[in-house]
């Protein structure tokens, strides 16, 4: 392919398609090794992720992705990338030299208005991907690029129904939604990792069927998105917990609502719910500071008793 702009567009479109395919299989917490391996195009291996945050594969002249490392209890993140509440992601320069080749490359991407991928580390080995994203401002005072998310479908269709129908308004709105998704996915990834990717109630290990349940809901004053306020539950036990069919005492013993215990409705009800009554949680986090908070369990258990 002789035209560099055609090649650039082809690589980026294939990268987005590749990520769509990964998400259909792995959900929103993508394995790092598959992102590093990438895909093959025109005889070239195109990786999407590398140790450095701003990444340009050899086949391109401008960066393809930016990344924020996952949090680690052993060491702080190398850069203070921030998720703003203002419809913008604040992405730090590499180092403190605005002329560093990586920073200059991202500045060129901003000038050319090319779409990129933003990878945010959830837990070691797992990344959330937002795409397409655009660099919309170069803030040299704070050594930061401002990044916003867009929607390829809306960009192509030009069917914009968001406040004023401008690129800025659309991207601000979509970025706010992306920030909420990221908070939710980060909570899920941390909770599932703490519970060894098992349902705490039944030990189911299929991550595509697991969810992170809040002990106290996020609108509660203590409903923080922290592991101690979370439980890894399969979809059926999450639904039962949310609807007060299944309760968990502060000593981590499961109770099933009395009217459900009296029902007769086949093996699924019996084995999936009724037989759990009086049993302890099957799985709890190894780290004591990640185990479910007894005070939060107590408050939630009181709601369960009221429902019964």
Q: What are the distances in angstroms from CA 131 to CA 64, 185, 282?
A: 11, 15, 38
The model carries a pTM of: 0.83
| Structure-derived torsion over alpha carbons of residues 92, 19, 206, 184, reported in degrees to the nearest 10 | 40
Q: What is the pLDDT of residue 31?
A: 96
Q: What is the pLDDT of residue 308?
A: 77
Residue recorded with tokens 């792995």: 26
| 131/120 Cα distance (integer angstroms) | 11
Residue recorded with tokens 């007060």: 244
pLDDT band, very low/low/confident/very high, at 74 (cuts 50, 70, 90) = low
Length of the chain: 308
Q: What is the pLDDT of residue 165?
A: 43
Q: If you average pLDDT over residues 101-126, what whole number do you get?
A: 95
89-92 and 39-41: which strand pairing? unpaired
CA 37 to chain centre: 20
Tell me the backbone φ, ψ of residue 83, rounded to 5 degrees.
-90, 105
Q: Is residue 77 predicted with pLDDT exceeding 60?
A: no
| 259/238 Cα distance (integer angstroms) | 19
| 220/227 Cα distance (integer angstroms) | 15
Across 41-45, 65-69, 113-117, least confident range: 41-45
CA 285 to chain centre: 20
Q: 133, 91 in Cβ contact below 8 A?
A: no
Q: If you average pLDDT over residues 84-113, what whole number do you get?
A: 91
Residue 257 structure tokens: 């609502």
Q: Is residue 239 predicted with pLDDT exceeding 90?
A: yes
Q: Measuring CA to CA, which residue among 259, 237, 238 is closest to residue 308?
A: 259
pLDDT band, very low/low/confident/very high, at 84 (cuts 50, 70, 90) = low
Share of the chain above pLDDT 90, in %: 77
| 210/167 Cα distance (integer angstroms) | 36
Tell me the backbone φ, ψ of residue 214, rounded to 5 degrees.
-80, 135
Kind and range of the H or E element at 229?
Answer: none
| 36/145 Cα distance (integer angstroms) | 24
CA 268 to chain centre: 32
Q: What is the pLDDT of residue 82?
A: 63
Q: What is the pLDDT of residue 266?
A: 84
Q: 117, 133 in Cβ contact below 8 A?
A: yes
Q: Measuring CA to CA, which residue among 175, 128, 126 is closest to residue 150?
A: 175
Q: If you average pLDDT over residues 73-86, what whole number do you get?
A: 59
Share of the chain above pLDDT 70, in %: 90
Q: If you average pLDDT over residues 57-73, what whole number do you get?
A: 91
pLDDT band, very low/low/confident/very high, at 72 (cuts 50, 70, 90) = confident
pLDDT digits (tens, 9 = 90+) for 33-52: 999 999 999 889 999 999 98
pLDDT digits (tens, 9 = 90+) for 142-164: 999 999 999 877 665 544 333 34
Q: If you average pLDDT over residues 215-235, what whole number do you get?
A: 94
Q: What is the pLDDT of residue 81?
A: 58
Q: Based on DSSP, count helices (H) and strands (E) in the chain, helices before strands.
A: 9, 14
Q: Is residue 73 predicted with pLDDT exceeding 60?
A: yes
Question: Across 29-125, where does the E strand assignment appear?
Answer: 30-31, 39-41, 44-46, 54-55, 65-68, 82-83, 89-92, 116-123
């Amino acid at each position: 392919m002789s035209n560099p702009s055609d090649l650039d567009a082809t690589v980026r479109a294939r990268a987005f398609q590749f990520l769509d395919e990964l998400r259909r299989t792995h959900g929103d917490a993508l394995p790092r090794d598959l992102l590093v391996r990438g895909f093959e195009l025109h005889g070239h291996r195109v990786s999407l992720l590398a140790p450095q945050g701003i990444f340009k594969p050899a086949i391109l002249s401008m960066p393809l992705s930016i990344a924020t490392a996952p949090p680690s209890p052993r060491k702080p993140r190398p850069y203070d990338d921030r998720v703003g509440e203002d419809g913008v992601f604040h992405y730090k320069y590499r180092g403190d030299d605005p002329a560093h080749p990586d920073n200059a490359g991202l500045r060129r991407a901003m000038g050319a208005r090319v779409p990129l991928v933003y990878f945010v580390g959830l837990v070691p080995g797992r990344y959330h991907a937002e795409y397409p994203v655009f660099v919309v401002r170069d803030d040299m005072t704070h050594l930061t690029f401002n990044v916003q998310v867009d929607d390829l479908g809306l960009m192509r269709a030009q069917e914009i129904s968001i406040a004023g129908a401008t690129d800025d308004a659309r991207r601000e709105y979509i970025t706010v939604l992306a920030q909420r998704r990221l908070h939710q996915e980060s909570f899920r990834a941390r909770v599932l990792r703490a519970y060894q990717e098992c349902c705490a109630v039944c030990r189911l290990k299929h991550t595509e069927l697991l969810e992170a349940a809040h002990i106290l809901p996020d609108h509660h004053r203590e409903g923080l998105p922290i592991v101690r306020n979370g439980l890894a539950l399969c979809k059926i036990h999450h639904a039962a917990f949310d609807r007060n069919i299944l309760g968990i005492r502060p000593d981590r013993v499961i109770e099933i609502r009395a009217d459900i215990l009296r029902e007769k409705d086949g093996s699924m009800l019996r084995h999936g719910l009724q037989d759990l009554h009086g049993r302890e949680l099957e799985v709890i986090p190894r780290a004591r500071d990640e185990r479910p908070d007894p005070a939060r369990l107590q408050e939630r258990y009181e709601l369960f008793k009221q429902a019964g």
